[in-house]
Amino acid sequence: VNFIAGASICFRHTQIDNISTNAAPPFSAALQELVYNPAGPWGSIQRTMGLYANVDWQITDTLQLQVGGRENYDDDGNYGYFNILLPSPPEPHTTVIADINNGTVTDSVPTGKVDLNWTPIPGQLIYAFVARGYKAKAIGIASSNVAEAEHDTDIELGWKGGALNGHLQTDVGGFYRKYQDMQEATLVSADPQYGNSALVNLAGVSTIDGLEASTQG
């Protein structure tokens, strides 16, 4: 039996302190919007941590079981505020829209993989596994709009074999995946006048399945 355990942590600070110009609906050159921050920078902070462990059990000389798991922690947030001017100066009758860049998300999601490997003879591997992954919750830029986490479940069965003293390598595998809650930026339920998009989770489940085969000589 072999095992490994550990932890990881990632911190990222993304600061935005520039002035940018974007086209506003109906996206003509005559109508421009100017985005700027009047009182300091705005941006986002991302904190990601994981605790993980993996155990490999050599059941027999030809059969191996691998089990791995990870607990994922996410703590993300936006800060600051900025102004949007429509149209951009020096146009008359400029409208100033104060946009607060706030919103936070916290999440804790377990992921993992169970893998069974069989090598009936040297150089031939037959394997099967089930894996579960995810993508953390997301916050819309300059809003408190939050999209829920994505989840992905993958089941695979395959064979990897060598022949001709290693000169020929062949891989054959089948897979079945279920992808849930894909995050997407959309104008639905967003500000129709200024075109600010919102993050949403797509309804329904995407199913991806098929066969893959390759040979290298």
pLDDT given at position 30: 55
CB within 8 A of 204, min separation 6: which ones?
Answer: none
Token reading at 45: 């902070």
The dihedral sign for the CA sequence 2, 59, 172, 214: positive
Q: Is 37 helix (H, G, I), strand (E, B) or coil?
A: coil
Round the average pLDDT of the chain to a whole number and report it: 84
pTM over cut 0.85: no
**Residue 201 or residue 36, greater confidence:** 201
pLDDT tens, residue by residue, 65-104: 999 999 999 999 888 777 767 665 556 666 666 666 777 8
In angstroms, the CA 172 to CA 174 distance is 7
In angstroms, the CA 108 to CA 111 distance is 10
CB burial of residue 8 (10 Å; 0-12, 13-18, 19+): exposed
pLDDT given at position 214: 97
**Residue 105 or residue 176, greater confidence:** 176
Q: How many CB atoms neighbour CB 71 within 10 A? A: 15
Percent of the chain beyond pLDDT 90? 53
Is pLDDT of 154 > 90? Answer: yes
Instruction: Give the closest residue to 199 by CA, choosing from 81, 82, 74, 105.
Output: 105
pLDDT tens, residue by residue, 112-145: 999 999 999 988 999 999 999 999 998 876 556 7
Instruction: Give the closest residue to 78 by CA, choosing from 140, 23, 120, 130.
Output: 140
* 163 band by pLDDT with thresholds 50, 70 and 90: confident
pLDDT tens, residue by residue, 39-72: 667 788 999 999 999 999 999 999 999 999 999 9
